[in-house]
Structure 1
Amino acid sequence: MSTTLTKSPGAPSATGKARRNRSLVDLVLRARELSIAAALAVLVIGTAVVNPRFLSEQGVKDIFLNASILALLAVGQTLVVVTRNIDLSVGSVVGLVAFVVGDVVSGTDRGLLPALAVGIGIGALCGVVNGLLISFLRVPALVVTLGMLYVIQGVDYYVAHGEQINAANVPQSILDLGNGGVLGVPYLPLITVVVMLAVGYYLRSYSSGREFYAIGSNPEAARLAGVPIRRRVFTAYLVSGVLAGLAGVLWLARFGTVVADNASGWELKVVSAVVVGGVAITGGVGTVYGAALGALLITTIGSALVVLKINAFWQDAITGLLLLLAISVDRVLALRVTRALKKRSRHHG
């Protein structure tokens, strides 16, 4: 005799609960990103009222050009941070790649493709070293990437020997990438947007992409569910390294003249952009779109301070304040989401 188990009409399925929980988290993320966009709009409008030249065609173009490299690095950093890790080596990778690539192509007829190959190759190598040490040897990410930062800086200074790369010696095809555009839109922001959309689509639409969030949300539960944690963490660092290598080539293309300490200190600026953009430093929450918005906000603050003739040193103070505020907001939102989920669970239990 068989027995059929029936579910009462009011009892939600596990899948339904997961979907509702996910929708609540998505709602919080969208609200966070909209608040960043609103703050950015207020900043731009307020600065433009004081100095209308802030919204001139060249002014807007400069903001997007300056933000594009930071946003590109923020996209790679997002992959790392959502897995409860951090990459402090990205700024030094950018500086090393910019100088080495500039040295390789200076005074030659080597074009853009060789430059990209060298730059992305160096970035990928740094990402592989970080990924292997952190994911397979289980060395703390903070220790590995901080050590990598100093190693790369030492190599960069050794290679540079106090010299610099001059824009006059860089092939025109590379300089055109940093200063040209299509239909009036510069290439650099277009490249960043394409990368951002591709990574964002992957994280949201593929099960392997969602596993990055599972690792950050609950590593033990992810392990029990069969998520290949080591492989995903390694991939995150590899992508971060590749994008840092690409950013180094774009740095050379944008500025032309390069010295050994380019992008020094940018690792903290990248982390700030990611956290301000709504990516929780504790992992599991955030999007590449929010991280890119955070990068744009931080860059716009710097440009606004220049236009308003305020000491640029205040930018660091404001960035630090935004970072503290973002972490505090993350904590408050996390507590509210947890309480809301508990109430829903009790209500439907």
Structure 2
Amino acid sequence: MTVLTQSPAKPGDAGGPAGGGRRLVDMVLRARELSILGALIVLVVATTIANPRFLSEQGVKDIFLNASILALLAVGQTMVVVTRNIDLSVGSVVGLVAFVSGKYASSGDRNLVLIALVGVAIGLACGLVNGLLVSFCKVPALVVTLGTLYVIQGLDHYIAHGEQIGAADLPSALLSLGNDAVLGIPYLPIITVLVMLVIGFYLRSYSSGREFYAIGSSPEAASLAGVPIRRRVLTAYLVSGGLAGLAGVLWLARFGTVVADAAHGWELKVVSAVVVGGVAIVGGTGTVYGAALGALLLTTIGSVLVVLKVTPFWQDAITGVLLLLAITVDRLLALRVTRVLRARGRKMRRTRDAA
């Protein structure tokens, strides 16, 4: 989509076509997020009618706990995808961080903050490698992150040597982070929501945050406007890697027992959550809130199928259908928005010529 570059008027000018385009895109995004929320509500109500125990206190807690890590990864992935890139290494980073931070935590009475810093530092290092190769070396993101996916997996297995980390080896403070709550709300969803709000506010309210969308909408126009494309793409990968590192620590805290292939295959779940949440795979549009809702929807579908005793095969099948549907809807909406903006531009030109 090129809605940010179709008029010389200032993007914030409500009277110009760019301002109208932004309002139109915002309206479409809100509609996508509301539709996801509506589908989620319908799914929960229908399942509760079929099995009233689905909405028990423990059932709701499990859904939010299970969705927290996926939503956190989806938030980081969103920053990458809006710049027309992708990060397929996040699942491997989670596995590596979960095991390495678990080894570090079990080697002595480690402080919780230090454990988290170790995990985030490993994630940032992985994000830095991805970001440098994509932004400065101009290697396609799909190739880079697919390669680092396998490299990180191999490194994880080399470090693990078939070893398993058990909950009995971990500090009680770390396990409390993954299972305890404040005012009845588990810590993990609180952390995810805080991260989502901070990044969502930054992308929406700061000019540097909006530059990520400008890059995804039209890299050529963004370059002409003076946007530091390489720096922004590198930043996106650093954020994605750092959040994957944090997710690895939370994975360790949540499950306690960790082996070398933790979060194996999660990169596809993360991309699915982002796309289902309304983030355009071609970049330029989408919000972290929609991505988080997409993660919650996919997690809820998995819980529903378990409650209804449906074979796990259907979870993957439904996820695939939702992914195809989301991409199709995104394409149709993009074409619709483009037509509307072109019609508005022609109307304004006719009005200006008549004057």
Alpha-carbon distance in structure 2 between the residues aligned to 1:107 and 1:303: 35
Alpha-carbon distance in structure 2 between the residues aligned to 1:128 and 1:181: 33
Alpha-carbon distance in structure 2 between the residues aligned to 1:279 and 1:232: 18
Q: Residue 13 and residue 108 in structure 1: after superposition, are their counterparts in 2 closer, same or farther (change >3 A)?
A: closer
Residue of structure 2 equivalent to 1:217: 217
Hey, which bits of structure 1, 4+ residues long, moved more than 4 A? none
Residue of structure 1 equivalent to 2:261: 261
Alpha-carbon distance in structure 2 between the residues aligned to 1:186 and 1:267: 25
**Deviation digits for residues 161-213 of structure 1 (CA, Å, limit 9, x no counterpart):** 11110011111000000001110000000000000000000000000000000
The percentage of counterpart residues that share the same residue type is 76
| Other structure's SS at 1:296 match | helix
| Other structure's SS at 1:138 match | coil
**Deviation digits for residues 255-277 of structure 1 (CA, Å, limit 9, x no counterpart):** 00001101000000000000000
**Aligned letter for 1:299?**
T
1:113 CA drift (Å): 1.1
**Aligned letter for 2:202?**
Y
1:111 CA drift (Å): 2.2
Alpha-carbon distance in structure 2 between the residues aligned to 1:62 and 1:337: 39
Q: Residue 136 and residue 13 in structure 1: after superposition, are their counterparts in 2 closer, same or farther (change >3 A)?
A: closer
Alpha-carbon distance in structure 1 between the residues aligned to 2:96 and 2:301: 27
Residue of structure 2 equivalent to 1:65: 65
Residue of structure 1 equivalent to 2:125: 125
| Other structure's SS at 1:260 match | coil
**Deviation digits for residues 271-294 of structure 1 (CA, Å, limit 9, x no counterpart):** 000000000000000000000000
Please, what TM-score do these two structures have when normalized by structure 1?
0.96
1:106 CA drift (Å): 1.1
Structure 2: which 5+ runs fail to align? Answer: 1-7, 350-355
Residue of structure 1 equivalent to 2:4: none
Alpha-carbon distance in structure 2 between the residues aligned to 1:312 and 1:165: 27
Residue of structure 1 equivalent to 2:291: 291
1:13 CA drift (Å): 6.2
Residue of structure 1 equivalent to 2:20: 20
Contact 1:107 1:171 in 2 (8 A): no
Counting only pairs closer than 5 Å after superposition, residues 1-349 of structure 1 correspond to structure 2 as 15=13, 16=15, 17-349=17-349
**Deviation digits for residues 5-52 of structure 1 (CA, Å, limit 9, x no counterpart):** xxxxxxx96632221110000000000100000000011011111111
| Other structure's SS at 1:110 match | coil
| Other structure's SS at 2:211 match | helix
Alpha-carbon distance in structure 2 between the residues aligned to 1:291 and 1:117: 25
**Deviation digits for residues 308-330 of structure 1 (CA, Å, limit 9, x no counterpart):** 00011211111011000000000
**Deviation digits for residues 110-157 of structure 1 (CA, Å, limit 9, x no counterpart):** 121111011001000000000011000111100100000000000000
Task: Give the alignment's Cα RMSD to 1 decimal.
Answer: 1.0
Alpha-carbon distance in structure 1 between the residues aligned to 2:59 and 2:95: 25
Aligned length: 338
| Other structure's SS at 1:327 match | helix
1:107 CA drift (Å): 5.0
Please, what TM-score do these two structures have when normalized by structure 2?
0.94
Alpha-carbon distance in structure 2 between the residues aligned to 1:25 and 1:317: 30
Alpha-carbon distance in structure 2 between the residues aligned to 1:73 and 1:215: 21
| Other structure's SS at 1:281 match | coil
